[in-house]
Chain A
Amino acid sequence: MRHIISLLMENEAGALSRVAGLFSARGYNIESLTVAPTEDQTMSRMTIVTSGSDEVIEQINKQLNKLVDVVTVMDLTDGVHIERELMLVKVRALGDAREELKRISDIFEGRIIDVSDRTYTIELTGAGSKLDNFLQAIDHNLILETVRTGASGIGCGERILKL
């Protein structure tokens, strides 16, 4: 089953490689991994999307907690949470397609952030599935490049990941 795990870790050189190394050394899956410093500059927050049996996920949580640089870990999937991902898509925008792409982008609440006479670059935010759906909705042959950040997640209401 797919799990989204959030963690706070010391904002130190090598901390990211400890987490990445743990996943490869123990054969765990990583679907995506995002990391950036938090409002407290000494800490970074990481969101890992992974999958595995309940036993594997339990081990992943324990092994992450065991890393000395990791301050605290929360499996967001254990409760109500929101996840968002940002995607930038560059598409070939010529003739009739120009209007059609704009229309679909609006439906998905996308924004066109760069325009040239032959291309559009569209910015989209949402759950991963929404971004997938957008790519399904437009003509595949028009896609020039895509870049996705991977999911960031946060618990709802009083579910707060803090030191």
Chain B
Amino acid sequence: MELTGAEITIRCLQEEGVEYIFGYPGGAVLFIYDELFKQEQVKHVLVRHEQAAVHAADGYARSTDKVGVALVTSGPGVTNAVTGIATAYMDSIPLVVISGQVPTSYIGEDAFQEVDAVGITRPCVKHNFLVKDAKDIASTLKKAFYLAKSGRPGPVLVDIPKDVSQQKVAYSYPAAVNIRSYNPQVHGDVDLIKRAAQLLLDAKRPMVYAGGGVILSDASKQLTELVRLLGVPCTNTLMGLGGYPATDKQFVGMLGMHGTYEANLGMQNCDVLLAVGARFDDRVIGNVSHFNSVPRKIIHIDIDPASISKRVKVDVPIVGDVAHVLSDLLAVLHSSKQKPDAAVLKDWWKQIDEWRGANSMSYRNSSEVIKPQYVIETLHKITHGDAFVTSDVGQHQMWTAQYYKFDQPRRWINSGGLGTMGFGLPAAMGVQLAHPGATVACVTGEGSIQMNIQELSTCKQFRLPIKVIALNNRYLGMVRQWQEFFHGNRYSQSYMDALPDFVKLAEAYGHVGILVEKPSDVEGALKEAFARKNELVFLDFRTDSTENVYPMVPGGKGLSEVILAEDL
């Protein structure tokens, strides 16, 4: 059977069970769009900007365990997609991005809408391909899906020149994929797992620090069982929230720059640290030499060997899939005669509870001005902690991470590594499409939302009843906070003048807008918004413009060198 490259492309997506593809048409992908038109299995979601296509595919992938798929044209289509690709790369999100390319005979001639897509995306993809012959499309797409999802996940770009999408060749979809140079290790080393178990059982001040790898590996069940079995405190990174239930008493909160006092001091003072699918990021452990100044044994479980001993020297490096390794570790612990020492742990918990007593997440609510923390707490209450929550980047992101207690994985969707403003709304579109009946909220700021505000139009077209929770403080809040702390209150370019009337803007796009100016109206407005089950509601909360995110470990400082709200 002979098919065109474009037909093959769509067939492959069908074979992979792709439900939604997020994209934007253009010259180089016209044949592929023509084939999309002729079938119904793969549903296309037309965004308003290619960056949003990739973020939407990303949100879809993060909230499910599937690969997100985006389709963009050559040239500006690809360059617009780059921010989305880099966002997914930094957070290890499985995506396949298909880009059109100018015809092969034009490549290198500076043709109209030509850009070296493979070259431009190389540093921010797991892998990429330029397909020069239609007979390679099926095997390349098969590899792309496999690479995206296996090992440490990540985005894979497949660049298809226009003439290749037109070319007719014989088609068959490969049943299996074999890449001789790529064999991710799934199972951890048995001896190392035994050593890890022994260290944890002998520890006096053990601590579990779990990151996004737990979510990606769908290992929160194993993690929860392990933490409870050991009776130890557990902290999650920004990317790991929901990996361990946040309302559980053994959860000490998020750690890092805006982590709780008890999580950060626990991290600094523990004698055995079990790091699970986390990478000792600068926003997590702060100053490396300060972190290393205290002796402790570190066990690190990660699927990516390059993440181990990258920033911090590790004593027990276990390369493998987090879910598999944790299952094996649990088996070793269950079969061991030695049990965790309750008396020793009691002393450790006494210390943890003392740090907890600092109440680092407390804030002073106000009846005059809306406190952003209060909005998030109320959001948690109204949605019974059961919503999918996306965010943009800045103060609102940190407050959501701190005050929305995520008890389940894949509910908290944010750009942690790259810190991409404009991520929240398109990501929420992908989440809502993946979970049609679910409650989806996008917490954002008046700065971030304007970076992809055009997607309100996509939301209208596809009837996505997202609730946009804008914490509007008239400032680029996180920038303003740093300027207050470290730049002598010189608020250089962080004040946003001439903001749009967001209520009217929402209405202009065919949605509902609600302005909320008083603390006493917060709960009612949220209730009203979530009662409108089939409509997108844009809530413009005018929040306290001077509020800061606490606690804060300033950049370059150690985890115990923290600024608490009460210090000021």
Q: Are B306 and A68 in contact (CB under 8 A)?
A: no
B113-139 to A contact mask, C-beta < 8 Å, 1/0: 000001100110011001000000000
Given the known interface contacts A68-B182, A71-B181, the answer about A21 and B122 at a Cβ–Cβ threshold of 8 Å is: yes
**Is A62 part of the contact surface with B, judged by Cβ < 8 Å?**
yes
Among B130, B147, B306, residue most surrounded by chain A Cβ atoms (within 10 Å): B306
A29 within 8 A of B: no
Residues in A39-77 with C-beta less than 8 Å from chain B: 55, 58-59, 62-63, 65-66, 68-72
Closest-by-CB residue of B relative to A63 is: B306
Q: From residue B234, how far is it (CB to closest CB) to chain A in Å?
A: 28
User: Given A21-B123, A65-B305, A70–B130 Cβ distance below 8 Å?
Assistant: no
Q: Are A66 and B122 in contact (CB under 8 A)?
A: no
B218 at the interface (CB under 8 A from A): no
Chain B residues with CB under 8 Å of A14's CB are 118-119, 122, 130
**B 298-317 binary contact with A (CB < 8 Å = 1; else 0):** 00000011100110010000
B123 contacts which chain A residues (CB < 8 A)?
21, 25
In the assembled complex, the CB of A63 is this many whole angstroms from the nearest CB of chain B, namely: 5
**Most chain A beta-carbon neighbours within 10 Å: one of B181, B306, B310:** B181
Give the nearest-CB partner of A8 in chain B.
B181
* Distance (whole angstroms) from the CB of A7 to the closest CB of chain B: 10
Q: Per-residue CB proximity of A18-32 to B under 8 Å, as 1/0? A: 100100010000000
Are B310 and A59 touching (Cβ within 8 A)?
A: yes
CA distance A18 to B125 in the complex (A): 11
Alpha-carbon distance A17/B180, docked complex (angstroms)? 20
Q: Tell yes or no: A147 within 8 A of B by CB.
A: no
CB pair B182 A17 closer than 8 Å:
no
* A62–B122 touching, CB < 8 Å: no
User: In chain B, residues 123-179, which have Cβ atoms closer than 8 Å to a Cβ of chain A?
Assistant: 123, 126-127, 130, 147, 179
How many angstroms from the CA of A59 to the CA of B123 in the assembled complex?
16
Query: Which residue of B is nearest A12, CB measured?
Result: B129
A131 at the interface (CB under 8 A from B): no
- The interface residues of chain B lying within 8 Å CB-to-CB of A66 are 304-306
* Residues of A110-145 whose CB lies within 8 A of B: none
Given contacts A13-B130, A66-B304, A66-B306, contact A163 B122 (CB under 8 A): no
CA distance A65 to B184 in the complex (A): 11
Which residue of chain A has its CB nearest to the CB of B119? A17
Number of B interface residues, CB 8 Å?
18
Q: A129 vs B122: C-alpha distance in the bound complex, in angstroms?
A: 36
Q: Tell me whether A62 and B306 are in contact (CB under 8 A).
A: yes
Interface footprint category on A:
20 to 34
Q: 8 Å CB contacts to A: which residues of B257-309?
A: 304-306, 309
Which one of A13, A25, A68 lies within 8 Å of B126 (CB-CB)? A68
Tell me if A9 is interfacial: C-beta within 8 Å of chain B: yes
Flag B178-200 by CB within 8 Å of A: 1 or 0 each. Answer: 01111000000000000000000
Considering only residues 302-346 of chain B, those with a C-beta below 8 Å from chain A are: 304-306, 309-310, 313
Measured CB to CB, the nearest residue on chain B to A26 is B123
Q: Provided the pairs A66-B306, A68-B147 are in contact, do residues A17 and B181 lie with their beta carbons within 8 angstroms?
A: no
Contact check, B122 vs A9: say whether CB atoms are below 8 A apart: no
> Considering the chains assembled together, what is the distance between the CA atoms of A72 and B182 in angstroms?
10
CB distance from B219 to the nearest CB of A (A): 21
The answer to whether A70 touches B181, judged by C-beta atoms less than 8 angstroms apart, is yes
Point out the residue from B130, B181, B305 that lies within 8 Å of A69, measured CB to CB: B181
Report the nearest A residue to B307, measured CB to CB: A62
User: What's the minimum C-beta distance from B184 to chain A, rounded to whole angstroms?
Assistant: 10
Beta-carbon contact of A55 and B180 below 8 Å: no
What residues on B are CB-neighbors of A62 within 8 Å? 305-306
- Name the CB-closest residue of A to B128: A14
- Is A83 an interface residue when CB atoms closer than 8 A count as contact? no
A85 lies within 8 A of chain B by Cβ = no
Q: CB-CB < 8 A to B306: which residues of A? A: 59, 62-63, 65-66
Q: Closest approach, in angstroms, between the C-beta of B155 and any C-beta of chain A?
A: 13
Given A68-B181, A71-B180, CB of A17 within 8 Å of CB of B127: no
Q: Which of B118, B181, B305, B313 contacts A10 (CB 8 A)?
A: B181
Closest B residue to A9 by beta carbon equals: B181
* Cβ–Cβ < 8 Å partners of A68 in chain B: 126-127, 147, 179, 181-182
Q: Kindly list chain B residues whose C-beta atoms are within 8 Å of the C-beta of A65.
A: 305-306
Residues in A with CB closer than 8 Å to B304 are 66
With the chains together, A63 CA to B310 CA distance in Å? 10
Q: How far is the CA of A111 from the CA of B386 in the complex (A)?
A: 78
| Cα(A70)–Cα(B183), bound, Å | 11
Q: A21-B123, A62-B305, A66-B306 are in contact. Are A163 and B180 (CB under 8 A)?
A: yes
* CA gap between A9 and B179 in the complex, in Å: 12
Residues of A1-16 whose CB lies within 8 A of B: 9-10, 13-14
Q: Closest CB of chain A to B185's CB: distance in Å? A: 11
Cα-based distance from A25 to B119 in the complex (angstroms): 13
**In the complex, what's the smallest C-beta–C-beta distance from B541 to chain A, in angstroms?**
40
Distance (whole angstroms) from the CB of A26 to the closest CB of chain B:
9
Question: A13 to B128, alpha carbons, bound, how many Å?
Answer: 11
- Nearest 3 CB-CB pairings of A with B: A62-B306, A71-B181, A68-B127
- Give 16 A-B pairs besides A65-B305, A68-B147 with Cβ atoms closer than 8 angstroms: A10-B181, A13-B130, A14-B122, A17-B122, A18-B122, A21-B122, A55-B309, A58-B309, A59-B310, A62-B305, A62-B306, A63-B306, A66-B304, A66-B306, A68-B181, A68-B182
Binding site for A on B (CB under 8 A): 118-119, 122-123, 126-127, 130, 147, 179-182, 304-306, 309-310, 313
Query: Can you report 9 residue pairs joining A to B where beta carbons are below 8 Å apart?
Result: A10-B181, A17-B122, A25-B123, A62-B305, A63-B306, A68-B147, A68-B182, A69-B181, A72-B181
